[in-house]
Chains A and B, each alone.
Chain A
Amino acid sequence: MKHYEVEILDAKTREKLCFLDKVEPQATIAEIKNLFTKTHPQWYPARQSLRLDPKGRSLKDEDILQSLPVGTTATFYFRDLGAQISWVTVFLTEYAGPLLIYLLFYFRVPFLYGPRYDFTASRHAVVHLACACHSFHYIKRLLETLFVHRFSHGTMPLRNIFKNCTYYWGFAAWMAYYINHPLYTPPAYGDEQVKLALAVFLFCQLGNFSIHVALRNLRPAGSKTRKIPYPTRNPFTWLFLLVSCPNYTYEVGSWIGFTIMTQCLPVALFSLVGFVQMAIWAQGKHRSYLREFRDYPPLRSPIVPFLL
């Protein structure tokens, strides 16, 4: 069997970092990364980006050496992606925070409001309902992270956990402060407003969950295949006819429902910021679908039917 030789150069300095000889032709990039880690233990595989061209795309872990356009001496360029943390860890941390933080404000734990309010309960029914909805939302997210989602990447850069947690935890505290405040003003249109908001919220929670399940079913366990998602028998998934990322659409919908329910400006602002971020993600996802699949349904928009 003809063996390959692999040399790994630094993508920025072109310095030779490592030389591997007698590499099997069927070796995957993942295996080569493991070999590289042996000589440079500080660069564990998750933080390695290997590419054929210093400015090119990263090679995938599943790529096989002999199927790449390289001669018998392959040259790879290495970029350090920085310290990595697993997606699951990040998701669990960033979602557990809001769940607990909101409850601290709901139960009016000391030092948040004046001492005479410590451990008192709000007299507004909507405040209790809002707590239930908010908690349900984040419990759902935690369970989905553990049991539903199938992640394409194992890890993300470590600094993301600080950024993400600041965002989620910060906003959760800000919203919870006002909703559970002793001087909270309930919605102007009373019960009707709250009922409508609850209906929107629940509808969108179900919708969001349905999409997550549909996306999970697109991809067998342990694989990283990518397929076009299509509507299934579940009516909530019919939004796929109009939108590439209906999970984001439903998510924005849930938060709009929560805004109407609580009639709280910080919640509206959180919904707005979330919408902007998800719209950016949806545009990106939509574009990569279009690039990858020639037969991608033309009617679909990224996140808002026909508009955005």
Chain B
Amino acid sequence: MAAAAPPSTAPGKPRPSLPPCAESGRRPRERRNMAAAAGGGSRADNGYGGQQPRRRKGPGALATAYLVVYNVVMTAGWLVIAVGLVRAYLAKGSYHSLYYSIEKPLKFFQTGALLEILHCAFGIVPSSVVLTAFQVMSRVFLTWAVTHSVKEVQTEDSVLLFVVAWTITEIIRYSFYTFSLLNHLPYLIKWARYTLFIILYPMGVSGELLTIYAALPFVRQSGLYSISLPNKYNFSFDYYTFLILVMISYIPLFPQLYFHMLRQRRKVLSHTEEHKKSE
């Protein structure tokens, strides 16, 4: 059905060469996804792996220099944490309660990631402010509002689980950004970033959930961060219930992010394969 009848005249004659109206046909032209955006990187992924690459004018020279310094410092920081964990393990002979040996650098460098929200806000990194804020805040929440605040969970093994996942992820991620900014990205780093998340992401999420779960009874008992009625602001907040809601929120969020990263992986790594084949 190629033609519609205009209101006042006899039915119009169909145009012979028109494709059928109903078929939507061709898929939209696929965007070429460049893994190494000059702008330094983006986080659709809670830092565990895939990137949301975009073609954009990169940041200026000063911003690039700053970002290189930032990413190098962060890589170094997380390496410190990694080394700290290994040394503590060797010294203690067991992997329990290693949190204390890296508590300070963990807090410092994870909190430092808040700067990344500003990077997006000022446009020197081509990522969504909201998405980045969400991801960084969730890490900061785990670090301060759960692990730091509920002392009793600091000896839990689940803490080690997410700390290790975060450490490996962040070392790779920040070095990825560093190399990208310098336009010299080794394939190994790109591969690592888009592959290791397959294990690290579930590992980290498990560690986080188990830690929150472990904190629950202590929160209930101490009334941490909770306020109850009556009070003059007519407000109440139950941190225990809040933590349960946070745990529940992982259910819709985790699969979405995970599959997004798997899709990113397919795009980014297969594109590189093509690139390599054509050389």
Contact = CB atoms under 8 A, between A and B. Distances in A.
Interface of A: 3, 10, 12-13, 15-24, 27, 31, 35-36, 38-40, 178-179, 181, 183-185, 188, 262-266
Given A15-B25, A39-B21, A183 B230 contact: yes
Interface stretch (B134-142, B149-157, B232-240, B248-256): B232-240
B230 A185 contact: yes
B26 interface: yes
A184 B231 CA distance: 8
A23 B6 contact: yes
B239 to A, nearest CB: 16
Given A16-B18, A21-B12, A22-B12, A39 B231 contact: no
B234 A262 contact: yes
Interface residues of B, number: 29
Given A13-B25, A13-B28, A16-B18, A185 B232 contact: yes
A184 B230 contact: yes
A184 B2 CA distance: 68
Nearest to A262: B234
Interface of B: 1-9, 12-13, 15, 18-19, 21-22, 24-28, 229-236
Given A16-B19, A21-B12, A265 B234 contact: yes
B232 A40 contact: no
A264 B1 CA distance: 62
Contact of A266 (B3, B231, B232, B235): B235
B174 to A, nearest CB: 34
Contacts of B236: 178
Given A19-B15, A20-B3, A24-B7, A40 B229 contact: no
B235 A40 contact: no
B25 A185 contact: no
Contacts, number: 79
A151 B234 CA distance: 38
Contacts of A178: 229, 234-236
Q: Which 7 A-B pairs have the closest CB atoms?
A: A265-B235, A183-B230, A183-B229, A264-B234, A22-B6, A265-B233, A21-B12
A21 B234 contact: no
A266 B235 CA distance: 7
Nearest to B3: A19
A284 to B, nearest CB: 19
A18 B4 contact: yes
Nearest to A37: B4
Contact of A39 (B1, B8, B27, B233): B1
A140 B26 CA distance: 50
A39 B235 contact: no
B4 to A, nearest CB: 5
A11 to B, nearest CB: 10
A262 B234 CA distance: 9
Contacts of A266: 234-235
A15 B26 contact: yes
A35 B8 CA distance: 12
B115 to A, nearest CB: 24
A19 B233 contact: no
A264 B24 contact: no
A19 B231 contact: no
16 contacts: A13-B27, A15-B26, A16-B19, A21-B13, A24-B6, A31-B7, A35-B6, A38-B5, A40-B22, A178-B235, A178-B236, A179-B234, A181-B229, A183-B230, A264-B233, A264-B235
Contacts of A183: 229-230
B19 A19 contact: no
Contacts of B21: 17-18, 39-40
A273 to B, nearest CB: 15
Contacts of A19: 2-3, 15, 18
A27 B9 CA distance: 14
